[in-house]
């Protein structure tokens, strides 16, 4: 970690160890964007987070893929101190966001339709 890194402690931003609301996700998203706009690598710390929902992850991290490429997000965002189960949820959110924002809404709807037909 360099001195230019911006470390965001999720619990400090949300004021709660239960990260379940999209509104709290928005608060974290705004902090991440601030770091990106100032050309800083952002380190997200999930230290002391007891509960994490996909609604929170969608608004805090998933939305990044609307404005940034996968390469930009990978190069500029690091996630730390996240529980194994939450890593799985984060991967699912990221995969869905990439499909939605980069391949378009139609591709996501086609994917959902295929799943529904199985």
* Residue 10 confidence (pLDDT) above 80: yes
pLDDT band with cut points at 50, 70 and 90 for residue 103: low
Q: 98 vs 26, which has greater pLDDT?
A: 26
pLDDT band with cut points at 50, 70 and 90 for residue 102: confident
The pLDDT tens digits of the residues spanning 14-68 come to: 999 999 999 999 999 999 999 999 999 999 999 999 999 999 999 999 999 999 9
* Residue 108 confidence (pLDDT) above 80: no
Instruction: Give pLDDT, residue 22.
Output: 95
Instruction: Give pLDDT, residue 1.
Output: 47
Instruction: Give pLDDT, residue 4.
Output: 83
DSSP states along 29-90: HHHHHHHHHTT--EEEE-TT--EE-HHHHIIIIITHHHHS-HHHHHHHEEEES--HHHHHHH
Calpha distance 20→57 (Å, rounded)? 9
Retrieve residue 43's tokens: 């380190």
């Amino acid at each position: 970690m360099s001195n230019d890194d911006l470390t965001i402690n999720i619990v400090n931003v949300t004021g709660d160890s239960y990260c379940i609301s999209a509104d709290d996700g928005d608060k974290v998203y705004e902090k991440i964007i601030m770091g990106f706009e100032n050309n800083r690598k952002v380190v997200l710390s999930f230290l002391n987070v007891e509960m994490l929902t996909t609604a929170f992850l969608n608004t805090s991290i998933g939305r990044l893929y609307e404005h940034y490429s996968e390469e930009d997000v990978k190069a500029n965002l690091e996630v730390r101190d996240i529980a194994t189960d939450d890593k799985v949820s984060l991967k699912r959110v990221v995969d869905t966001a990439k499909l939605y924002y980069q391949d378009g809404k139609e591709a996501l709807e086609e994917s959902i339709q295929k799943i529904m037909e199985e």
